[in-house]
A and B are shown apart, each in its own frame.
Chain A
C-alpha cells in the first residue's frame, strides 16, 4: 500500500536555527514528490515538485531534496514567518496526491 510518512510531527526552532523535515514514501512508480506549506485556516500553498532521485530545488530559505525513499525539506536560518505546517505528498498517477500528515513548525524569535 502506498504510504507517505512525515517526521517529526512537530518541531520548534529558534529564529536562525537550521533544521530538516523528513518525508518517507513507499509509492510504486513515483511520478512526483510535492512539498506544500499550509497556514491555519488556509489551503496548501505549493512549494516544490521533485521528480527523480538526486534532484534538488531551492526557494529562499527552503531547499528540497529527493532520494529513492525519502525527501528532505531543509530550512536554513528560519524566521518566525516560516511557522506553518509543511506537507509532503507523493503521486504515482500524475494527478492524485497522497499526502502525509504534515510537520507543524514553530519558529520563535
Chain B
C-alpha cells in the first residue's frame, strides 16, 4: 500500500504563475482533504472532496484557489497567479467513510511551494 502520494514534493513558481499540486489517495479511499501549513502556523483546513464533488470548501481563499477530485485520476489543488504569501507546505489527507475512528486521516508527505 503506497499510502497517500503527493507530487511534486517541491515546487518553485514565479509570482503570477500557476501552481498545480496533485494528490493520489490511498487505495480504497474516496475522501480527500487539503490542508495548508504556513511557516510558524498550524495546519489549516482548506477543502474536503469526494469523487466529483466538493463537500466543504470553507477554508479555501475566495480567489485564485480551486480544487477538484475527478472520477479518474488524482485530486488537484490549483493556485492561479501565485503570490509570495502562497509559499507554504500543502498537505493532502485521505480516508474512507468507516476507518476514521481507528485510523484517522492518512496524510501525504506534502508539497512545498516556494513563490519567488
Contacts and interface: CB of A to CB of B under 8 A. Distances in A.
Interface of A: 4, 32, 34, 36, 41-49, 87, 89, 93-102
Interface string B39-71: 011111100100000011011000000000000
A95 B102 CA distance: 14
B98 interface: no
Given A44-B107, A93-B56, A101 B42 contact: yes
B30 to A, nearest CB: 13
Contacts of A96: 33, 45, 48, 56, 58-59
A100 B107 contact: no
Contact of B42 (A43, A93, A94, A102): A102
Given A42-B109, A96-B56, A49 B104 contact: yes
9 contacts: A34-B104, A44-B91, A44-B107, A46-B106, A87-B43, A96-B48, A96-B56, A96-B58, A99-B44
Contacts of B109: 41-43
Given A42-B109, A100-B42, A101-B41, A95 B48 contact: yes
Q: How large, as a class, is the contact surface on chain B?
A: 20 to 34
Contacts, number: 64
Contacts of B106: 46
Contacts of A101: 40-42
Contact of B110 (A36, A43, A87): A43
User: Lowest 7 CB-CB distances: which A-B pairs, in order?
Assistant: A43-B107, A46-B104, A99-B42, A99-B43, A96-B45, A101-B42, A44-B107
Given A43-B4, A43-B110, A44-B107, A49 B31 contact: no
Nearest to A46: B104
A99 B35 CA distance: 10
Contacts of B33: 95-97
A92 B64 CA distance: 27
Given A43-B108, A96-B48, A96-B59, A49 B43 contact: no
Contacts of B4: 43
A65 to B, nearest CB: 17
